[in-house]
Amino acid sequence: MDDVIQLTKRERDVLSTAVKFGWDVIVNGRGVAQWDGDALMPFRAFKTLDVLIDRGYFERVTYMRAEWYRATRKARDLKCSHCQDGRTYAEDEATGYDAPTGICESCGGTCLKPNTDDQRDAAPGVDNG
């Protein structure tokens, strides 16, 4: 759990996207990588992905001729328990539906547990929990 603190902002961004939305990085038949296979969300951060794989947060999966990269259990365990997608919600009295009210204070919108954010100055071995 503690080594996630040493991730760079870019690494946390990739991890956050995968954990927040449950998306995989999917490589299509033309060798193009996209978040969730969506052409509107190209993925190019393979150096970052390699680091996350080394650290056990992502795994490469191949099946038949398909190839994709998905967040591991270790990564999903980092999901913020105070929100669904980095935002807070409250029931809108006019519509009766939940509407976003702001950024989750616990995770700052990353949807990763608080101790994954900007605590690189914390002394090693200090228990933040």
- Kindly list the residues in this chain that would bind Zn ion in the complex (CB under 5 A): 80, 82-83, 104, 106-107
Smallest gap from residue 21 Cβ to Zn ion (A): 13
Smallest gap from residue 95 Cβ to Zn ion (A): 23
Smallest gap from residue 4 Cβ to Zn ion (A): 15
Taking the least distance from each CB to Zn ion, the nearer of 51 and 82 is 82
Smallest gap from residue 81 Cβ to Zn ion (A): 8
Token readout for 123 is 């002394």
Distances in Å between the Cα of 17 and the Cα atoms of 27, 77, 90, 111, 124 are 17, 14, 23, 8, 27
CA–CA separation, 10 and 40 (whole Å): 20
Taking the least distance from each CB to Zn ion, the nearer of 37 and 114 is 114
Residue 13 CA, chain-centre distance (Å), reads: 7
CA–CA separation, 16 and 111 (whole Å): 6
Taking the least distance from each CB to Zn ion, the nearer of 7 and 107 is 107
Taking the least distance from each CB to Zn ion, the nearer of 34 and 110 is 110
Residue 121 CA, chain-centre distance (Å), reads: 22
